[in-house]
Amino acid sequence: MNARKPEPAVIATWKFGKAAAEAAGEVLRAGGRALDAVEAGINVVELDPKVTSVGYGGRPNAEGIVELDAAIMDGPSHNAGAVAALRNIRRPISVARKVMEQTPHVMLADDGALRFAVLQGFPEEELLTPQSRLHWEEWRLKAGTTHDTIGLVALDADGNLAAGCSTSGLAYKLPGRVGDSPIIGSGLYVDNDVGGAAATGVGEEIMKFCAGFLVVEFMRSGCAPDEACRRTIARILAKTPANKDITMALIALSRDGQFGAASTRPEFPHAVWTPAGVQMRGSAES
Ligand code: GLY
Protein backbone atom coordinates (compact mmCIF):
# COMPACT_ATOMS: atom_id res chain seq x y z
CA MET A 1 0.00 0.00 0.00
CA ASN A 2 1.36 3.44 -0.87
CA ALA A 3 1.71 5.84 2.05
CA ARG A 4 1.12 9.00 0.03
CA LYS A 5 -0.18 9.95 -3.38
CA PRO A 6 2.51 11.30 -5.71
CA GLU A 7 1.99 13.65 -8.62
CA PRO A 8 1.16 11.70 -11.80
CA ALA A 9 4.08 11.32 -14.20
CA VAL A 10 4.99 9.76 -17.55
CA ILE A 11 8.30 9.06 -19.30
CA ALA A 12 8.55 7.84 -22.88
CA THR A 13 11.35 7.00 -25.32
CA TRP A 14 12.48 9.02 -28.34
CA LYS A 15 11.13 12.12 -30.02
CA PHE A 16 7.87 10.37 -30.89
CA GLY A 17 7.49 9.75 -27.16
CA LYS A 18 6.36 13.36 -26.78
CA ALA A 19 2.97 12.71 -28.38
CA ALA A 20 2.72 9.44 -26.44
CA ALA A 21 3.54 11.13 -23.13
CA GLU A 22 0.99 13.85 -23.82
CA ALA A 23 -1.75 11.32 -24.57
CA ALA A 24 -0.83 9.26 -21.50
CA GLY A 25 -0.70 12.43 -19.43
CA GLU A 26 -4.21 13.40 -20.46
CA VAL A 27 -5.49 10.07 -19.15
CA LEU A 28 -3.73 10.69 -15.84
CA ARG A 29 -4.89 14.31 -15.66
CA ALA A 30 -8.48 13.04 -15.92
CA GLY A 31 -7.85 10.73 -12.96
CA GLY A 32 -7.25 7.60 -15.08
CA ARG A 33 -5.12 4.59 -14.24
CA ALA A 34 -1.46 4.24 -15.18
CA LEU A 35 -2.36 1.11 -17.17
CA ASP A 36 -4.87 3.02 -19.32
CA ALA A 37 -2.35 5.83 -19.74
CA VAL A 38 0.33 3.43 -21.00
CA GLU A 39 -2.03 1.88 -23.54
CA ALA A 40 -3.39 5.24 -24.77
CA GLY A 41 0.08 6.76 -25.08
CA ILE A 42 1.55 3.84 -26.99
CA ASN A 43 -1.49 3.60 -29.29
CA VAL A 44 -0.70 7.10 -30.58
CA VAL A 45 2.71 5.99 -31.83
CA GLU A 46 1.47 2.62 -33.11
CA LEU A 47 -1.13 4.32 -35.29
CA ASP A 48 1.22 6.97 -36.70
CA PRO A 49 2.49 5.75 -40.11
CA LYS A 50 5.33 8.29 -39.99
CA VAL A 51 6.94 6.29 -37.18
CA THR A 52 8.74 3.54 -39.08
CA SER A 53 9.75 1.42 -36.10
CA VAL A 54 6.40 0.87 -34.36
CA GLY A 55 2.97 -0.45 -35.39
CA TYR A 56 1.33 0.64 -38.64
CA GLY A 57 4.06 1.75 -41.06
CA GLY A 58 6.78 -0.14 -39.19
CA ARG A 59 9.66 -1.61 -41.15
CA PRO A 60 8.94 -5.19 -42.29
CA ASN A 61 10.99 -8.34 -41.94
CA ALA A 62 13.23 -9.68 -44.70
CA GLU A 63 10.20 -11.07 -46.53
CA GLY A 64 8.36 -7.73 -46.53
CA ILE A 65 5.95 -8.61 -43.72
CA VAL A 66 5.55 -6.36 -40.68
CA GLU A 67 5.86 -8.39 -37.46
CA LEU A 68 5.15 -6.55 -34.23
CA ASP A 69 6.21 -7.12 -30.61
CA ALA A 70 4.56 -5.47 -27.61
CA ALA A 71 4.10 -5.93 -23.88
CA ILE A 72 2.36 -4.25 -21.00
CA MET A 73 2.86 -4.65 -17.26
CA ASP A 74 0.56 -3.53 -14.47
CA GLY A 75 2.12 -2.51 -11.16
CA PRO A 76 -0.73 -3.16 -8.68
CA SER A 77 -1.47 -6.71 -9.89
CA HIS A 78 2.09 -7.48 -11.06
CA ASN A 79 0.40 -8.99 -14.08
CA ALA A 80 1.65 -8.75 -17.65
CA GLY A 81 0.70 -9.51 -21.23
CA ALA A 82 2.70 -9.66 -24.44
CA VAL A 83 2.51 -10.45 -28.13
CA ALA A 84 5.41 -11.43 -30.37
CA ALA A 85 5.71 -11.53 -34.16
CA LEU A 86 2.10 -10.36 -34.48
CA ARG A 87 1.01 -9.56 -38.04
CA ASN A 88 -1.77 -7.37 -39.44
CA ILE A 89 -2.90 -5.71 -36.22
CA ARG A 90 -2.28 -2.00 -35.77
CA ARG A 91 -2.43 -1.76 -31.97
CA PRO A 92 -0.33 -4.62 -30.56
CA ILE A 93 -0.10 -3.03 -27.10
CA SER A 94 -3.90 -3.35 -26.84
CA VAL A 95 -3.71 -7.02 -27.83
CA ALA A 96 -0.98 -7.50 -25.19
CA ARG A 97 -3.36 -6.01 -22.62
CA LYS A 98 -6.09 -8.44 -23.72
CA VAL A 99 -3.64 -11.34 -23.30
CA MET A 100 -3.05 -10.11 -19.74
CA GLU A 101 -6.70 -9.58 -18.90
CA GLN A 102 -8.51 -12.27 -20.89
CA THR A 103 -6.18 -15.28 -20.78
CA PRO A 104 -4.22 -17.21 -18.16
CA HIS A 105 -1.09 -16.65 -20.29
CA VAL A 106 1.50 -13.91 -20.53
CA MET A 107 2.65 -14.12 -24.16
CA LEU A 108 1.07 -15.18 -27.43
CA ALA A 109 3.12 -15.35 -30.62
CA ASP A 110 2.76 -15.38 -34.39
CA ASP A 111 -0.40 -16.94 -35.81
CA GLY A 112 -1.84 -17.73 -32.36
CA ALA A 113 -1.50 -14.09 -31.39
CA LEU A 114 -3.21 -12.99 -34.61
CA ARG A 115 -6.09 -15.44 -34.17
CA PHE A 116 -6.55 -14.29 -30.57
CA ALA A 117 -6.55 -10.63 -31.66
CA VAL A 118 -9.19 -11.28 -34.31
CA LEU A 119 -11.34 -13.17 -31.80
CA GLN A 120 -11.06 -10.14 -29.51
CA GLY A 121 -12.44 -7.94 -32.30
CA PHE A 122 -9.27 -6.30 -33.63
CA PRO A 123 -9.52 -5.77 -37.41
CA GLU A 124 -6.92 -7.45 -39.63
CA GLU A 125 -5.21 -4.77 -41.70
CA GLU A 126 -2.16 -4.36 -43.94
CA LEU A 127 0.62 -2.76 -41.90
CA LEU A 128 2.99 -2.00 -44.75
CA THR A 129 2.48 1.56 -45.98
CA PRO A 130 3.47 2.49 -49.56
CA GLN A 131 6.46 4.27 -48.01
CA SER A 132 7.63 1.26 -45.98
CA ARG A 133 7.12 -1.01 -49.00
CA LEU A 134 9.35 1.32 -51.04
CA HIS A 135 12.04 1.25 -48.35
CA TRP A 136 11.84 -2.53 -48.16
CA GLU A 137 12.29 -2.74 -51.93
CA GLU A 138 15.38 -0.50 -51.65
CA TRP A 139 16.70 -2.50 -48.72
CA ARG A 140 19.14 -4.65 -50.68
CA LEU A 141 20.90 -1.47 -51.80
CA LYS A 142 20.89 0.27 -48.45
CA ALA A 143 20.01 -1.67 -45.32
CA GLY A 144 18.30 0.15 -42.48
CA THR A 145 18.54 -0.78 -38.83
CA THR A 146 15.71 1.07 -37.10
CA HIS A 147 14.52 -0.49 -33.87
CA ASP A 148 13.37 2.57 -31.96
CA THR A 149 10.82 1.10 -29.59
CA ILE A 150 8.15 3.20 -27.95
CA GLY A 151 8.64 2.46 -24.28
CA LEU A 152 6.48 4.27 -21.76
CA VAL A 153 6.19 4.20 -17.97
CA ALA A 154 3.37 5.96 -16.12
CA LEU A 155 2.58 6.71 -12.50
CA ASP A 156 -1.00 7.62 -11.60
CA ALA A 157 -2.50 9.71 -8.82
CA ASP A 158 -3.13 6.57 -6.74
CA GLY A 159 0.61 5.86 -6.76
CA ASN A 160 0.28 2.92 -9.15
CA LEU A 161 2.73 2.25 -11.96
CA ALA A 162 2.48 0.59 -15.36
CA ALA A 163 4.84 0.19 -18.30
CA GLY A 164 4.59 -0.79 -21.94
CA CYS A 165 6.66 -1.31 -25.09
CA SER A 166 5.71 -1.64 -28.74
CA THR A 167 7.90 -2.07 -31.81
CA SER A 168 8.20 -3.52 -35.28
CA GLY A 169 11.65 -4.65 -34.14
CA LEU A 170 14.83 -4.76 -36.11
CA ALA A 171 14.19 -3.68 -39.70
CA TYR A 172 14.43 -6.53 -42.24
CA LYS A 173 14.94 -9.11 -39.49
CA LEU A 174 14.62 -12.82 -40.12
CA PRO A 175 10.95 -13.81 -40.06
CA GLY A 176 10.05 -14.91 -36.54
CA ARG A 177 12.77 -12.88 -34.86
CA VAL A 178 11.58 -11.54 -31.51
CA GLY A 179 13.39 -8.77 -29.65
CA ASP A 180 13.45 -7.64 -26.05
CA SER A 181 10.25 -5.58 -26.15
CA PRO A 182 7.68 -8.32 -25.41
CA ILE A 183 9.88 -10.00 -22.80
CA ILE A 184 8.97 -9.08 -19.23
CA GLY A 185 12.15 -8.14 -17.38
CA SER A 186 14.03 -7.28 -20.57
CA GLY A 187 12.10 -4.67 -22.56
CA LEU A 188 10.11 -3.54 -19.53
CA TYR A 189 9.54 -4.22 -15.88
CA VAL A 190 7.47 -2.78 -13.04
CA ASP A 191 7.51 -3.32 -9.32
CA ASN A 192 4.77 -1.20 -7.81
CA ASP A 193 6.78 -0.79 -4.58
CA VAL A 194 9.84 0.50 -6.42
CA GLY A 195 9.39 1.84 -9.97
CA GLY A 196 9.21 0.92 -13.62
CA ALA A 197 11.60 0.80 -16.56
CA ALA A 198 11.59 0.29 -20.32
CA ALA A 199 14.31 -0.31 -22.89
CA THR A 200 14.95 0.55 -26.53
CA GLY A 201 17.72 -0.38 -28.92
CA VAL A 202 19.19 -3.66 -30.06
CA GLY A 203 16.99 -6.25 -28.42
CA GLU A 204 19.43 -9.13 -28.87
CA GLU A 205 21.80 -7.42 -26.43
CA ILE A 206 19.19 -5.93 -24.06
CA MET A 207 17.55 -9.31 -23.46
CA LYS A 208 20.83 -10.99 -22.49
CA PHE A 209 21.04 -8.67 -19.49
CA CYS A 210 17.38 -8.52 -18.36
CA ALA A 211 17.85 -4.77 -18.56
CA GLY A 212 14.36 -3.68 -17.43
CA PHE A 213 14.52 -5.89 -14.35
CA LEU A 214 18.05 -4.75 -13.54
CA VAL A 215 17.09 -1.06 -13.61
CA VAL A 216 14.25 -1.72 -11.16
CA GLU A 217 16.51 -3.80 -8.93
CA PHE A 218 19.10 -1.01 -8.84
CA MET A 219 16.30 1.37 -7.80
CA ARG A 220 15.22 -1.11 -5.12
CA SER A 221 18.75 -1.04 -3.72
CA GLY A 222 18.57 2.75 -3.36
CA CYS A 223 19.70 4.20 -6.71
CA ALA A 224 17.85 7.15 -8.18
CA PRO A 225 16.34 6.25 -11.58
CA ASP A 226 19.10 8.04 -13.53
CA GLU A 227 21.79 6.16 -11.63
CA ALA A 228 19.90 2.88 -11.99
CA CYS A 229 19.82 3.32 -15.78
CA ARG A 230 23.50 4.32 -15.92
CA ARG A 231 24.53 1.32 -13.80
CA THR A 232 22.59 -1.02 -16.05
CA ILE A 233 24.34 0.31 -19.15
CA ALA A 234 27.67 0.07 -17.30
CA ARG A 235 26.92 -3.57 -16.34
CA ILE A 236 26.24 -4.40 -20.00
CA LEU A 237 29.37 -2.65 -21.25
CA ALA A 238 31.57 -4.23 -18.57
CA LYS A 239 30.64 -7.69 -19.85
CA THR A 240 30.40 -6.83 -23.56
CA PRO A 241 32.51 -3.72 -24.34
CA ALA A 242 31.72 -3.92 -28.08
CA ASN A 243 28.16 -2.95 -27.22
CA LYS A 244 29.36 0.65 -26.80
CA ASP A 245 29.00 0.91 -30.59
CA ILE A 246 25.34 -0.08 -30.73
CA THR A 247 22.29 1.78 -29.50
CA MET A 248 20.80 0.74 -26.20
CA ALA A 249 18.83 3.12 -24.02
CA LEU A 250 16.74 2.92 -20.88
CA ILE A 251 14.07 5.01 -19.17
CA ALA A 252 12.89 4.71 -15.58
CA LEU A 253 10.31 6.22 -13.27
CA SER A 254 10.37 5.68 -9.52
CA ARG A 255 7.25 5.23 -7.43
CA ASP A 256 7.83 8.73 -6.01
CA GLY A 257 7.83 10.29 -9.50
CA GLN A 258 11.55 10.75 -10.25
CA PHE A 259 12.62 10.29 -13.87
CA GLY A 260 15.79 8.68 -15.18
CA ALA A 261 17.39 7.68 -18.48
CA ALA A 262 20.72 6.52 -19.88
CA SER A 263 22.07 5.38 -23.21
CA THR A 264 25.15 4.05 -24.97
CA ARG A 265 24.80 7.12 -27.21
CA PRO A 266 25.66 10.71 -26.23
CA GLU A 267 22.09 11.72 -27.07
CA PHE A 268 18.90 9.89 -26.21
CA PRO A 269 15.80 12.04 -26.72
CA HIS A 270 12.96 11.12 -24.41
CA ALA A 271 9.83 12.83 -23.15
CA VAL A 272 8.76 13.45 -19.57
CA TRP A 273 5.27 14.56 -18.57
CA THR A 274 4.00 16.03 -15.32
CA PRO A 275 0.77 17.99 -14.77
CA ALA A 276 2.87 21.12 -15.53
CA GLY A 277 3.40 19.89 -19.12
CA VAL A 278 5.62 17.79 -21.35
CA GLN A 279 9.34 18.31 -21.90
CA MET A 280 11.94 16.71 -24.13
CA ARG A 281 15.18 15.68 -22.44
CA GLY A 282 18.40 14.05 -23.54
CA SER A 283 19.04 15.73 -26.87
CA ALA A 284 20.25 18.93 -28.48
CA GLU A 285 16.62 19.86 -29.00
CA SER A 286 15.78 19.49 -25.32
N1 GLY B 1 14.29 -3.12 -28.94
C2 GLY B 1 13.52 -3.51 -30.01
C3 GLY B 1 14.00 -4.70 -30.72
O4 GLY B 1 15.19 -4.97 -30.75
O5 GLY B 1 13.21 -5.38 -31.31
| pLDDT top residue among 130 and 207 | 207
Report the nearest atom of ligand 1 relative to the CA of 178: 5
Indicate the pLDDT class of residue 112, thresholds 50, 70 and 90. Answer: very high
167, 58 contact by CB (below 8 A):
yes
Q: What is d(CA 207, CA 185) in angstroms, rounded to the nearest whole number?
A: 8
Position 140 pLDDT exceeds 80: no
pLDDT band at 126 (very low <50, low <70, confident <90, very high): confident
pLDDT average, residue stretch 198-202: 97
96 and 46 Cβ atoms separated by less than 8 Å = no
Q: From atom 4 of ligand 1, which residue's Cα is the shortest distance away?
A: 203
Cα distances (angstroms) measured from residue 85 to each of 61, 100, 177, 218: 10, 17, 7, 31
Give the percent of the chain with pLDDT over 90: 86
195 — phi, psi (to 5°)?
165, -175
Q: Kindly tell me the burial class for residue 163, based on how many C-beta atoms sit within 10 Å of its own C-beta (0-12, 13-18, 19 or more).
A: buried
Is residue 200 among the annotated active site residues? Answer: no
Backbone dihedral region of 55: left (phi > 0), alpha (psi from -120 to 50 degrees) or beta? Answer: left
Centre of ligand 1 to C-alpha 7, Å, is 31
- In tens, the pLDDT along 231-244 reads 999 999 999 999 99
202 lines ligand 1 (CB under 6 A): yes
Q: Is 170 in the pocket of ligand 1 (CB under 6 A)?
A: yes
| pLDDT at residue 3, rounded to an integer | 58
| Pocket residue to mutate for ligand 1, from 51, 52, 61, 69, most atoms within 8 A of Cβ | 69
Which of 66, 86, 167 for a ligand 1 pocket mutation test, highest count of atoms within 8 Å of Cβ? 167
Contact 2, 267 (CB under 8 A): no
Mean pLDDT, rounded, for 267-276: 97
- 206 CA: nearest ligand 1 atom: 1
Q: Please, are residues 212 and 198 in contact by the beta-carbon 8 Å criterion?
A: yes
Q: Is the pLDDT of residue 16 over 80?
A: yes
Q: For 77-95, how does the pLDDT look when each residue is reduced to its tens digit (9 = 90+)?
A: 999 999 999 999 999 999 9
Q: Which atom of ligand 1 is nearest to the CA of 187?
A: 1
The pLDDT, as a whole number, for residue 1 is 46
Check pocket membership of 151 for ligand 1, CB cut-off 6 A. no
Mean pLDDT of 116-129: 94
pLDDT band for position 136 (cuts 50, 70, 90) = confident
Residue 35, ligand 1, Cβ within 6 A: no
User: Helices 17-29 and 34-46 meet at what angle, rounded to 10?
Assistant: 150
Convert the pLDDT of each residue in 94-109 to its tens digit.
999 999 999 999 999 9
C-alpha to C-alpha distance for 269 and 255, rounded to whole angstroms: 22
Residue tagged active-site, from 13, 52, 146, 149:
149
Nearest atom (ligand 1) to Cα of 69: 5
**CB count, 10 Å around CB of 61?**
21
63-67, 132-136, 257-261: least confident range: 132-136
Does the CB atom of residue 186 touch ligand 1 within 6 A?
A: no
**Rounded Cα distance, 227 and 58, in Å:** 32
Tens of pLDDT, residue by residue over 23-72, are 999 999 999 999 999 999 999 999 999 999 999 999 999 889 999 999 99
- CA torsion sign, 190 to 191 to 196 to 200? negative
For ligand 1, whether the C-beta of 180 sits within 6 Å is yes
Q: Quick one: how far is CA 9 from the chain centroid?
A: 16
Report the atom number in ligand 1 closest to the C-alpha of 204.
Answer: 4
pTM above 0.75, yes or no: yes
How crowded is residue 7: how many other Cβ atoms within 10 Å of its Cβ?
Answer: 12
The CA 113 to ligand 1 mean position distance, Å, reads: 18
Q: Domain map of the chain by residue range?
A: 9-281
Pair 213, 188: CB distance under 8 Å? no
CATH superfamily for domain 9-281: (Glycosyl)asparaginase (3.60.20.30)
Exposed / middle / buried, residue 15 (Cβ in 10 Å: 0-12, 13-18, 19+): middle
pLDDT value at residue 267: 95
Mean pLDDT of the chain: 94
